[in-house]
Amino acid sequence: MAPVIGATFSPFTMKKTLIISALALVSVVIGCKKDETDKGPSYEFRKPENFPEPTYTFDNNPVTEAGFKLGKKLFFDPILSVDNTVSCNNCHNQSLAFADLPLHAFSKGVMERQGIRNAPQLVNLAFMKEFFWDGGVTHLDFVPLNAIEAEFEMDEEIENVIAKLNNHAEYPALFKAAFGTDEINTPLMLHALSQFTNLMVSNNSPYDKYLRGEVVLTAQELEGLRLFEQKCQSCHSGILFTDESYRNNGIDSVFTDIGRARITSFSGDIGKFRVPSLRNVGITRPYMHNAKFATLEAVLDHYSDGIIESPSLDPSLENGIPMTAEEKAAIITFLKTLTDKDFTQDERFFKG
């Protein structure tokens, strides 16, 4: 833009000068705003106001930027697997709220070995008491041990992983930056992974924004919410959309995967699985521990007309959950308001 030289004090020039200084002011304001966002993202763990207290013991392992970034590098690194081909990210994809690709109904591990369950999404882990479909792991730090050592996932021995990391060109310095020591050991590696997974907090879906008064929901979405509260919330309860109990929701009568009974050895628990969170459920198909249903429509048809009797069936489902076609459609519309794009597009989790 040509500079304005006020040689003559014509009203025209004055006006132009004013406009230019006004523009300059605007760009100063915009500039400030930009500087604020340029500070970069936060790596602090923050509990959303309407969430329960975290179960994770942050005092032992506070999240830091260096620790989070180390955890991220580990999460994306196939070095954790026996033949250096499979990373955590192979089965947990950010664009799907860290669930697996629909193509992998059962997860695929090293040498194309097929797992026994559908990989769940990874969200709001810091608030959960137990992990896996059967609650077989009771602390987030221990989850990766299972993934690394499971034959059909990474099939690697933890000692080998630690040796590979200690001999690596980059990891010792990264552990030093995160934990003040370049002696890499299992607890530190697990702490780094938990720092990464603990920040996977999903609380910015349209439903959350509706609760905060930031957006409105459509009449059909609100009707779906009302029906959901009536028909589904007894199990998929609270802000996490799970009461974290183990139940048989009638998807089978004979269970090759016995579920909760694997952990408790109690025959009454055969066929019970953890009530999963329904956050982001619009993008985490297929559904159930055994990927029985490909669509939400099929899930709703199951609850209305497909419940299968067996000794451990949840008593509340004995007669199914009656729903009309319109009611099912409304519930599905509501469930889709739980998809959190701010989370699936959060740059902090990008491979980098």
Give me the least distance between CB of 337 and ligand HEC, in Å please.
13
- The nearer residue to ligand HEC, 144 or 206, going by C-beta atoms, is 144
Smallest CA-to-CA distance from 346 within 40, 39, 71 is with: 40
Specify whether the CB–CB gap between 118 and 288 falls below 8 A.
yes
Of 199 and 275, the one with the shorter C-beta distance to ligand HEC is 275
CB of 58 to ligand HEC, least distance (A): 16
Are 147 and 108 in contact by the 8 Å Cβ rule? The answer is no
Q: How wide is the angle at C-alpha 245 spanned by C-alphas 240 and 251, nearest 5°?
A: 100
Give me 229's structure tokens: 């509260």
Nearer to ligand HEC, 214 or 297 (CB): 297
Please report how close the Cβ of residue 214 comes to ligand HEC at its closest, in angstroms.
Answer: 25
Q: How far is the CB of 281 from ligand HEC (least distance, A)?
A: 5
**How long, in residues, is the chain?**
352
* Shortest Å distance, C-beta 4 to ligand HEC: 60
Residue placing its CB nearer to ligand HEC in the complex, 206 or 259: 259
Sign of the dihedral defined by the CA atoms of residues 193, 199, 203, 204, in that order: negative
Q: Which is nearer to ligand HEC, 214 or 326 (CB)?
A: 326
C-alpha angle 87/93/96, rounded to 5°? 165
Task: Check whether the bond before 54 is cis (ω within 30° of 0).
Answer: no
Q: Which residues bind ligand HEC (CB under 6 A)?
A: 75, 80, 86, 88, 90-92, 107-109, 115, 117, 119-120, 122, 125, 131-133, 143-144, 147-148, 153-154, 193, 197, 231-232, 234-236, 247, 249, 251, 273, 275-276, 278, 281, 284, 287-289, 296, 299, 303, 314, 316-317, 321, 331
What is the C-alpha separation between 54 and 212, in angstroms, rounded?
A: 21
Whichever of 91 and 178 has its CB closer to ligand HEC, that residue is 91
Q: Are 68 and 195 in contact (CB under 8 A)?
A: yes
344 with 96: CB under 8 angstroms?
Answer: yes
Tell me the closest approach of the beta carbon of residue 91 to ligand HEC, in angstroms: 3
